[in-house]
Structure formats: C-alpha cells, structure tokens
Structure 1
Amino acid sequence: MGRAVGFIGLGSMGLPMAQNLARAGFQVLAWNRTPKEAGGLTLVGSPKEAAEAGVVITMLADDAATEAVLPGILEGLPPGGLHIAMSTLGVPYSKALAERHRQAGKRYLAAPVFGRPEAAARGELRIVVAGAPSDVEEARPLLKALGQEVYEVGESPHLAHAVKLGGNFLIAAMLEALSEAYVLVEKNGVRREAFYEVVRGFFRSPVYENYGRILLERRFSPPGFRLRLGLKDTRLIHQAADTTHTPLPLGHLLLDRLLEGMARGMGEEDWTAILKLVEAKGGLNG
C-alpha cells in the first residue's frame, strides 16, 4: 500500500477522484457526511481521522460544507500537515482559510478543478493550483493522478479560486449564448445538429463541444453539475466582483437566469437545463 492521503467528500466528483487516487497506489482514508459505498477506499469515521493521514483533500459543495469539516481537519492534521482544497470556494473564504491554517501551524493549498464527473472518472480534470511552491511540488503526484493538466497561478492560494470563478463565469456565459444561438437558428429554419457541427469545427473547444452536445441531446438528468450549484458559483462570482468593485453586467443576466431556474423547480437538474428557459422565452415550448 502506498502513501496515505485523506479525502473528504464523496459526491459525484469526489468519489471518482478518490478512486483514481486509490488506483494510482495511494491509501485513501475517505470520509463522507452520509455513508456511501466506496470500492477501493478505506472509510473512516470523521474528518479528523481523514486528516490524520498528514495530507487531506476536500471536495465539497461550498464554503459552508468546507467550514463544517474544518475543525476536524485542523485538529487531525499533524504539525505542518497539508490541506488541499479542490472545491470551488469563495475568494474571501479562501483567503481566510490560508490565514487560519497558518495560525494553526498547518499548510493550505488551493487546487480547484475544471471538469464534469465523466472527466473526473477518466482522470482528465484540469486543475488550477496556487500556494507555496514546496506545497505544490508535494501535491503534484496527487494532482497528476487526478488531472491531465495542472496550471500554477501564484503563491497565494486564493488566486486559484479567483481563476476558477473566472472560468466558471465563462462557462455559464457560453451556456447562455449557445442556448440562445440554438433557439435563434432553429427559429430561422436551421437544424440544431447542423449548427452544432459548425460551432464544433469553428471554435474547436472541448468546452463548446461537450456542452454543445449535452444541450443538443437535452441531457438534463442525471445532472453532471446541478443548476443550484451553478447558482452558488454565480453568487461567489458576484461576491468576488463586489469586494473588488468590478462591474459584471453579463453576470447579472446569468444570476437572473439561474434564479429563474430555481423558481421553476429546476435546481436538481443539470445547469444546461437553462436551455428550457431560453426556449420558453422564444416560444418553442408550445
């Protein structure tokens, strides 16, 4: 059995990530808030036990879920132990985490990921990392087992979360624009499939290709990324904008669109389901 690593959060992203670490030869001490079948992992009884591995990864839904396990992490990590936060977190919260770990004599590294559950299962995530160079090097074998590309963006951990939020802003904007474009071309007599082939060839982006296909096939359930989580991330984007006095006109449109989805009971659908809202505005839902 290889080096031990703790892993907290076995959701649709966390479970395949933890299992990839196990397949790479790590002994994964895993904890989840609700019991879950987890082949290849060593399940432990608390976040504290997971952190006792000396290095612990969190992959949780939001700031609040991370805060709920933080006391156990700080208690369980040995002096100088390393917490790698791979969730999408708010920039102010990420800054606070760095200081709280420092005061506790522990280390903190931010490494949020781009990719949906299928990419996580294939070990093809894109990982944005920020922190002390020595911490990045210590984490690199773990990151290599989880993703196909690692982008280093600075030595202050919150920078990685700022990049992640900026990227999610672009993805949300692309979803809105592509949904509107599908409706536009269809109402002008063009098959969506034909338009998709043009977009795929012209933009040559895995994001456009993947999301364009999901929209085309209307794969809104089961969700790869829930609409309610998209709303959470959009709120974090606005938080980062508010604290730096950054106007986001497009961001407000996206916030309203996702709020409308929540109001219509779509929170547990994939966030690509905003297509249905755009279609309704265009009169395509009967």
Structure 2
Amino acid sequence: MKVGFIGLGHMGLGMAANLLKGGHDVTVYNRTRTKVEALIAQGAKGAASVADACRGEAVITMLADDGAVESVVFSDGGVIGSLPAGALHISSSTISVALSERLEAAHAKAGQRFVAAPVFGRPDAAAAGQLFVVAAGAADALRASAPLLDAIGQKTFIVSDAPKAGNLVKLSGNFLIASVIEAVGEAMALIGKAGVDRRQYLEILTSTLFDAPVYKTYGALIADGKFEPAGFAAPLGQKDIRLTLAAAEDLRVPMPLASLLRDRFLTLLAHGGDKLDWSAIGQLAAKDAGETTS
C-alpha cells in the first residue's frame, strides 16, 4: 500500500521501518529531519510537510499526546484537510477517549475512514515488528488497515467498531502496567531493606508466580535502577494515567489505584524525573523507606 507515516519517535521509527520491510510504499514525516533521512536510506520517501505524507491510501500517526495529534490532524495543511476522500487514518498514538471520538466524527464528515490502533510493546518490540495491536473501527476500515497492522505487529486484536474502545483498552493496559511497576517497587523496597538481593528476588518471582514479560522487563529495570535512556518517558506515563482517570470519571468508575499512580508520577516529575523511564516510579518506595539504591 501507499502509506504515509507521521511521527518517528522511539516507537514510530521502528514501525515505519517494518512497513518498508513489508513491501509498502512509505512516505515519512517528522520534525527532526535526521530520523527522516535514516528511513530514506532504507527506501522511504521524505515528506516536506504533513500534507505531503497524506497523498496515499492511508496515513499512520504515532505521536506523543493529544496536543501533538490535534496539531497534526486539525491544523491548516493537516491530515483532515489533506487526506483524500475514502482514504484511511490509523492512529497508533495513546490518546484520550474524547479525542478519539472527535477524530472519528471529523474523518466521517470529511468522507475519510478512521481506525484507532494503539500498540503494546516497548521500542525494541517496535523495531522487531513484534508489537501487539489493539484495533477498533468500522469493518471496512479494519480490513483496509490489516496489511499495515500485520507489518508492524505480531498480532492484532479487533475490539470494537467504535475507535474509542481501542483507546480505552490501551489506557487500561497502561494503567495495569503502571500498577505492576508500583507493586514490584514496593515489594523490592521491603526485601531490599531486609538485605535480600533484588536480582535473586526477581529471579524467584519470575521463575514461579510471575513468569510474564511485564514482570521480567520492569522488574529488571527496578532491580538495577536503570531508568535511562527512557524507553517510555515518565511524563508519558503520567499522561496515560491522567487520561485513564478522565475516562473513568466520564463512565463513573472509581479507580483508587489509578489515583495513587497519578500522585506517584507527579512525585517523580516534581523531583526532576522527566527524562527517566516511567518505571522509575518503582524506585520511589525504596526512597520512602530510606534506602540508598544504585
């Protein structure tokens, strides 16, 4: 397919590269030109503007937050004004439910199609084409998006014909990951202060009760205190919990743990953690306990 890709950050760079490997005709746009040039070397075409990336059958956006998506989609020369009628916008960004609803309505009014397709996985999974995709949208739009989603992920889960449901599933998943990070951090603070080796403790946990990638990946980062470079930066984690709570408020679903996580992220950011991986909230319990962690 002839597809544009907008947003070559930690995740987008690998995703766009895998579209090229999948044989698609890819045009890329990013504010940082060096990332565009890296993909041009792999066979992509460079776009001078957002509009230039919207000339094909589809465009994929992978951007940091609601503000970035709104700027790219609704501005003069943006996606809405540039994408041909009948063409497809796939949003892989982790955005609010409210913005997803707005995007669906705006694309329908413009005669375009919209699919929400946020992904689970860190940058290494994006580079390897091993993301898990959560897709939602009209049946015809989902069929059209399938070859592109197959190129970036190992499996696509179709959850609804309403795009906002895909975004809600993604937010709820990130809430659960953050919950694991906090719980592991508290447990490690407890055993660490008693003199138990954190790495050995992690091996025990992941060899018995918690043999899952989320515990292995984030447990290792917490045990080693390795929060830079950030695979997923702390401000993005804070944003996702904030959006989860906004969705919960609209649906009148109390989420006490999410409220705790919001405060944990705010604590981390208040102490200068903006450049750290979001797993750095897992070190807060040890600091609260008076531990010195490496």
Residue 204 of structure 1 pairs with residue 208 of structure 2:
no
Residue among 258, 267, 280 paired with 1:260? 267
Measured in 1, the distance between the counterparts of 2:66 and 2:131 equals: 21
* Partner residue, 1:152: 158
What one-letter code is carried by the residue in structure 1 that aligns with 2:11? M
* Partner residue, 2:236: 229
- Residue pair 2:185, 2:284 contacting (<8 A) in 1 also: no
Could you tell me how far 1:207 is from its partner in structure 2? 1.2
Could you tell me how far 1:24 is from its partner in structure 2? 1.2
Q: Secondary structure at the match of 1:130?
A: strand
Residue 68 of structure 1 pairs with residue 75 of structure 2:
no
- Residue pair 2:222, 2:283 contacting (<8 A) in 1 also: no
Q: State the Cα deviation string for residues 144-195 of structure 1 (Å, max 9, x = none).
A: 1111121110100000000001100000000000000111112233211121
Measured in 2, the distance between the counterparts of 1:275 and 1:239 equals: 23
- Residue pair 2:96, 2:243 contacting (<8 A) in 1 also: yes
Could you tell me how far 1:42 is from its partner in structure 2? 1.2
What one-letter code is carried by the residue in structure 2 that aligns with 1:136? L
Q: State the Cα deviation string for residues 222-244 of structure 1 (Å, max 9, x = none).
A: 10000011111111011101111
- Residue pair 1:10, 1:36 contacting (<8 A) in 2 also: no
* Partner residue, 1:117: 123
Deviates more, 1:128-137 or 1:224-233: 128-137
Measured in 2, the distance between the counterparts of 1:283 and 1:262 equals: 19
What one-letter code is carried by the residue in structure 1 that aligns with 2:232? F
What one-letter code is carried by the residue in structure 1 that aligns with 2:2? A
Matches within 5 A, 1:137-216: 137-201=143-207, 202-216=209-223
Could you tell me how far 1:280 is from its partner in structure 2? 0.8
Q: State the Cα deviation string for residues 245-275 of structure 1 (Å, max 9, x = none).
A: 1111111110000001110010111011113
Measured in 2, the distance between the counterparts of 1:182 and 1:148 equals: 32
Residue 242 of structure 1 pairs with residue 249 of structure 2:
yes
What one-letter code is carried by the residue in structure 2 that aligns with 1:276? Q
* Partner residue, 1:21: 19
* Partner residue, 2:59: 56
- Normalised by the size of structure 2, how large is the TM-score? 0.94
* Partner residue, 2:108: 102
* Partner residue, 2:10: 12
Could you tell me how far 1:215 is from its partner in structure 2? 1.7
Deviates more, 1:80-89 or 1:42-51: 42-51
Moved over 4 A (4+): none
Structure 1 spans left out of the alignment, 5+ residues: none
- Residue pair 2:15, 2:126 contacting (<8 A) in 1 also: yes
Could you tell me how far 1:36 is from its partner in structure 2? 2.5
* Partner residue, 2:132: 126
Measured in 2, the distance between the counterparts of 1:104 and 1:135 equals: 15
Q: Secondary structure at the match of 1:5?
A: strand
Matches within 5 A, 1:30-49: 30-37=28-35, 38-39=38-39, 40=42, 41-49=44-52
- Residue pair 2:115, 2:135 contacting (<8 A) in 1 also: yes
What one-letter code is carried by the residue in structure 2 that aligns with 1:67? E
Could you tell me how far 1:62 is from its partner in structure 2? 0.6
Paired-residue identity, %:
45
Measured in 1, the distance between the counterparts of 2:280 and 2:115 equals: 33
